[in-house]
Structure 1
Amino acid sequence: MSGKGAPELTVTNCSDLRVAVIAAQWHQQVMDGLVDGALRAVREYGIDEPTLLRVAGSFELPVVAKALARRGYDAIVALGVVIRGDTPHFDYVCQGVAAGLTQVSIESGVPVGFGVLTCDTEMQALDRAGLPGSSEDKGREVVTAAIATATTLRLVSEPWR
Structure 2
Amino acid sequence: MSGGGVPGLNQENRAHLHVAVVAARWHPTVMDGLVGGALWALKDAGIAEPTVLRVPGAFELPVAAQTLASCRRYQAVVALGAVIRGDTPHFDYVCQSVAQGLTQVSVHTSVPIGFGVLTCDTEEQALDRAGLADSAEDKGYDAAAAALATAAALHGAARAPS
TM-score between the two structures when normalised by the length of structure 2? 0.96
- What CA distance in whole angstroms lies between the structure 2 residues aligned with 1:37 and 1:27? 15
The 5-angstrom pairing of residues 8-157 of structure 1 reads 8-72=8-72, 73-157=74-158
Cα deviation digits, residues 96-126 of structure 1 (max 9, x gap): 0000000000010000000000000000000
Deviates more, 1:69-78 or 1:7-16: 7-16
Count of residues in Structure 1 that have an aligned counterpart in Structure 2: 161
Residues in 1 aligned to 2:79 and 2:60: alpha-carbon distance in whole angstroms: 10
Q: 1 CA distance for matches of 2:6 and 2:158?
A: 26
Deviation readout 1:53-79 (Å, 9 max, x if unpaired): 000000000001011111121000000
Q: Which letter maps to 2:57?
A: G
Superposed displacement of residue 159, structure 1: 5.1
Partners of 1:136 and 1:159 in 2: CA distance: 35
2:156 partner letter: L
Structure 2 partner of 1:7: 7
Code of the residue aligned with 2:134 in structure 1: it is: G
Q: Over aligned residue pairs, what C-alpha RMSD do you find?
A: 1.0
Residue 2 of structure 1 and its aligned partner are, at CA, apart by: 2.0
Separation in 1, partners of 2:2, 2:90: 23
How much identity, in percent, do the aligned residues show?
Answer: 63
Deviating above 6 A after TM superposition, structure 1's stretches of 4 or more consecutive aligned residues are none
Any stretches of 5+ residues in structure 2 without a counterpart?
none
CA displacement at 1:12 relative to structure 2:
2.9
1:68 partner SS: helix
